[in-house]
Amino acid sequence: MKHYSRRRVLQVAGLVALSNAAGQLLSVPSVFAAQLTPAAPSLAVFLRVSQQLTQQSQLNPTVAQALVQALNLTQKDFPAGLAQLDALLSSQPALLQQDKLVFPEQNAASEKLAKSILGGWYNGVVGKGNNALYVTYINTLANQAVKDKVVPPGFSYGPCGSWAQQP
């Protein structure tokens, strides 16, 4: 397994943030992309699993591409784990009908991956601690759910400091 330097990870995070802001994924040189995602799973499989987990039919493909890259960097054996999770969700759709996402003990690895995928979509961060990668902020599902009522921090619709005034 290759070791990625902090600088390389920051470069990737910067590229993803820039492409996310632009609304489309910027082209990455093929040599650099191959180093980052040696065995990246197909975007279609990732989107299918993500749609099942989030119960959202319309997911941003640019964010999905960024999440795949980040998960491939932070999750051990991500392609194999995603294939296993996809098979599990296809064979046992009732797992997603529970109030809380809990899989049988023999599928603990799939449950952990499912929660990482959900965390990426809802919080925009993949991984934990020093291995965490920031993928998106504005385009998280959490922010999309409240965008008609809540102004994201850092974005003011009024004069400077107007957010501090009582309604």
Classify residue 136: in a domain, yes or no: yes
The distance of Cα 6 from the centroid of its chain, to the nearest Å, equals 20
Classify residue 86: in a domain, yes or no: yes
> What is the domain count for the chain?
1
Classify residue 77: in a domain, yes or no: yes
CA distance 70 to 64: 10
Classify residue 68: in a domain, yes or no: yes
pTM equals 0.69
* Beta bridge partners of residue 134, listed in sequence order: 125
Q: What pLDDT is recorded for position 164?
A: 75
Going by pLDDT thresholds of 50, 70 and 90, the confidence category of residue 75 is very high
Classify residue 27: in a domain, yes or no: yes
CA distance 107 to 103: 6
Classify residue 1: in a domain, yes or no: no
Mean pLDDT (the chain) is: 80
Residue 148: give the domain boundaries.
Answer: 6-164
Classify residue 122: in a domain, yes or no: yes
Classify residue 11: in a domain, yes or no: yes
Q: What is the mean pLDDT of residues 5-22?
A: 56
Predicted confidence (pLDDT) at residue 127 exceeds the cutoff of 80: yes
Q: What pLDDT is recorded for position 151?
A: 67
